[in-house]
Structures are given as structure tokens and as C-alpha cells.
Amino acid sequence: MIRVTIKDADALKAITIQQLKTYLESTSWTKREDISRSLASGERTVVGELWSQDTGPTKRTAIVVPGKETFADYTARISEALMALERAEGRTQLEIYVDITQKSVVIKPTKSKKKK
């Protein structure tokens, strides 16, 4: 398997927040909590979401989904998400990228049941 790290900013920006969240939901990731920050006014605003998946008996992998596509660190967060997905799934970033950007719903393969 050839490993490719996607670094192109336009390619990373092409992944929308909704596409990433749809992919995570369809591949058994769980939204754990909102990440919020205090504003100067004292109010709190959501700046992202923490998602995780148990990837072993004692191991959990986490992904931060940015709150807005206009955030300065958006491409860095998407790049980190692709790296985490690559490790968790044992697939290349390119395979995952295609699944996220070109499929509206990811269907997980299921074991077929034999009819009696």
C-alpha cells in the first residue's frame, strides 16, 4: 500500500464539516463533547467537536472537528483528522478522502447471514 499524506490546502478545504461528520457517524465514531471557548463578553462559543472511537481494548482515538470552515486552523484540523482515520482504519488518506468527499453516505459492510 502506498501511503499518501494530503497536504494541499485546497484539497483539505474541499472536505466540509458536514461531510466529515457524516463520515464519522457512518463509521462508528461518537461525538463526545462540544469544545467551547470564552469570549471577551463572558459568553461561551462552540469552536469544535470532539469525536472518538475505541480502536483497541484500551485505546481510544480522538478527532477534533472544527466548528467553522473559516477558522484559521481548519486545514490543519482536517489534516489531523485524516491522519487519525488512516491509523484507525488501516487505509490510506487518499481512500478515506475519496469516501468523505465523493460519497454522500458511507455504507459499512456487514457479514451476510446464511439462510437456513
The pTM score is: 0.81
Please indicate, yes or no, if residue 86 is contained in any of the structural domains.
yes
Torsion, Cα of 68, 71, 74, 75 (10° steps): 140
Please indicate, yes or no, if residue 3 is contained in any of the structural domains.
no
In the chain, the number of structural domains is: 1
Give 11-55 pLDDT, tens digit per residue: 999 999 999 999 999 999 999 999 998 988 988 888 999 999 987
Instruction: Output the CA–CA distances (angstroms, integers) from residue 84 to 52, 61, 77, in the order listed.
Output: 10, 7, 10
Please indicate, yes or no, if residue 107 is contained in any of the structural domains.
no
Please indicate, yes or no, if residue 65 is contained in any of the structural domains.
yes
Please indicate, yes or no, if residue 77 is contained in any of the structural domains.
yes
Please indicate, yes or no, if residue 115 is contained in any of the structural domains.
no
Distance CA 89, CA 87 (A): 6
Please indicate, yes or no, if residue 4 is contained in any of the structural domains.
no
Domain around 71: 9-33+48-102
In the prediction, which pLDDT does 91 show?
Answer: 94
Give 74-87 pLDDT, tens digit per residue: 999 999 999 999 99
Give 48-58 pLDDT, tens digit per residue: 999 999 877 77
